[in-house]
Each structure stands twice: as C-alpha cells, then as structure tokens.
Amino acid sequence: MIQRYSFLGIFLAFTIIGGSCQQDHTNGALETEHSLYQKDNLIAWCVVPFDKEKRSPEARAKMLATLGFTKFAYDWRDEHLPNFPQEVEALRANKVQLEAVWWWIDGQSDSLLNEKNQQLLHYLDSLKLDCDIWMSFDDRFFQDLSDSAKLIKAVTAITTLHQKASSVNARLQLYNHGEWFGDPRNQLAIIEQTGLHDIGLVYNFHHAHQQLEDFPELLQAMLPYLNTVNINGMKPEGPKILTVGQGSHEKEMLRHLLESGYQGNIGIIGHIENEDVELVLARNLQGLKKIAGEL
C-alpha cells in the first residue's frame, strides 16, 4: 500500500542502527517502533545477481537473516527464475519478508511482458504472494520518440502493467533506472496521466548522480508516492556504486529524508559482482550506522 507520510516521521526517526551485523542495539538512543534507519525498516536489494559466491536460495536467505534483514527485494536474471519457489520457501523459513520483485521491460518482445516476466507473474499468483513489483524500461522501448510520444506510450504500458500486477494482488512501483523513464519528474507525469494514484515510486541514489542538486525539491514532489529509497555513497563525479559513508552527499540526502517525514523502506544494496555480497551489504550497513549516529 502506498503510504502518505506526515511530519510525525521526523520525531520517530532518530533511533539509529546499532550493534554488529548480527546484533541490534541502539547505543542509548531513544527506541521507537518505526524509526527510519532502524534495522527492521531496511530492505536488501541488488543481491541475487551480484554475488561472487553464487549462493543457493537457502544460503542466501540464511545470509540475509544473519545480517539482520527482515525484508528483501528480489532482483534476478533468467537463470535464477526457475528457483523462485525455493527462494520464497527459504525466505519464509528464515523469517525474511519478500517485499518486492523486479520487472524489466526490454522493449524487444512482441508482447509487453516477455516470457520470463510472464513466468514471474504466474509465480506471484500460484504462490499467493503479496508484494510489490519494481519495474523499469529499457530505453529502447521509447526509441526515436519525442518526449510527448514517450509519455503517451508509457501511460498506455503502465496502465496495462498495473492491471496485470493488480490481478495477482501486487502493487506497481516505478523504478528510476536512468534515461527518460528513470527521471522521477517523468514518472510523476505518468502517474498523473494514468489517474492510478496507488502506483508508487522507488528512488535509487545510484541512478541519481545527475540529480544531486535537485534532490530536496524532487523529494518533496515524490513524497506522496515514495515507497523505497535505495541508498549509496554519492559523489558528483562518481563512481556509480560506492559504499555508504564514503561519499560527499549521501549524509545530507539522508538528513533531507528524515526532515521530510518519509517513513518508507530504506534499501541497502549489494551491486558488486566480483565480491561476496554479504561483505558488501555489511559495509553499507556500517556506513549507514555511522551516518545515522551523526544525524
């Protein structure tokens, strides 16, 4: 469900992540049930395809639980999808909630959804899952179109995708993956044109380096629809993927989130293919812990 956020969140947001990756303490800070940067509000993302260890679903779920995650968003490639039922079973066994799954519309199929995306839709239905769908388009979907024509095509596609998601009790979230569709201003225009105000937004720091100066203004515009913010170390010059706490801008961006009253998920990303994803997630957890303590 898309949340509408109030400024009460400012006063609920100061409990920081504490302890090691296996334990959760508050270092003396005021405990609340809904603190923005508390571990039970964190969601693991960019995990499945970004793991040098190539964990099985069972090993991955145990790893997430060991790090203290209670929420997970499922990013996948074609080779992972046949194991999706085992993924769901393993997550349930380790008390990790499947919050979201990934749809990538490649723009190369005869139909809007290719065979793999249709298979995922079938799994959501047959396994009776209640989750979000994070989706974005390959820019080829809008190739050679004017901005106004892109908007018309996007509105038509999103209306259809919303219907398909709703048919399996899933909620559609638009994901900023770059290019025209990945600009939150265009995503907000799409939602407005569809009239489907139960559609939400997922905002990724690592796809937003060109929006650093505009972030406070964009945040206020996105806030009524904002479901998840996936965080990253941020420097204007890059690199794209940087450990949280090693950039120059993410601390101020996280401060803006607190002050806005945002109370959605905070995503911790893996997204490094040549490392053990457990180590990458742990570094980002520690980086967030440090920044949250300073806020």
Phi, psi of 44 (to 5 degrees): -85, 135
DSSP 87: H
**Under 8 Å CB-to-CB from 244, ≥6 apart: which residues?**
231, 232, 233, 250, 268, 283, 284, 287, 288, 291
Measured CA to CA, the distance from residue 234 to residue 247 in angstroms comes to 5
What's residue 109's pLDDT?
A: 77
φ, ψ of residue 78 to 5 degrees: the values are -55, -40
Instruction: Give the largest Cα separation in the chain, rounded.
Output: 57
pLDDT at 110: 80
Q: Where are the alpha helices (DSSP H) in the chain?
A: 8-12, 57-67, 84-93, 115-126, 147-167, 184-194, 215-222, 250-260, 277-294
Contacts of 217 (CB under 8 A, 6+ apart): none
Domain boundaries, the chain: 8-294
CA 19 to chain centre: 24
Structure tokens at 216: 């406070």
pLDDT in the model for residue 19: 37
Per-residue confidence (pLDDT) for residue 20, from 0 to 100:
33
Predicted pLDDT at 16 = 38
Identify the segments of the chain with pLDDT beneath 70.
Answer: 1-34
What whole-number distance in Å separates Cα of residue 211 and Cα of residue 217? 10
Please tell me what DSSP assigns to residue 40. Answer: G
One-letter amino acid identity for 72? F
Question: What's the CATH code, domain 8-294?
Answer: 3.20.20.150
pLDDT value of residue 107: 83
Q: ∠ CA 243-44-283 to the nearest 5 degrees?
A: 30
Cis check: omega of the bond before 184, within 30 degrees of 0: no
32, 53, 110, 266, 283 from 38: Cα distances, Å: 9, 28, 44, 9, 16
Report which secondary-structure segment, H or E, holds 174.
Answer: strand 171-175
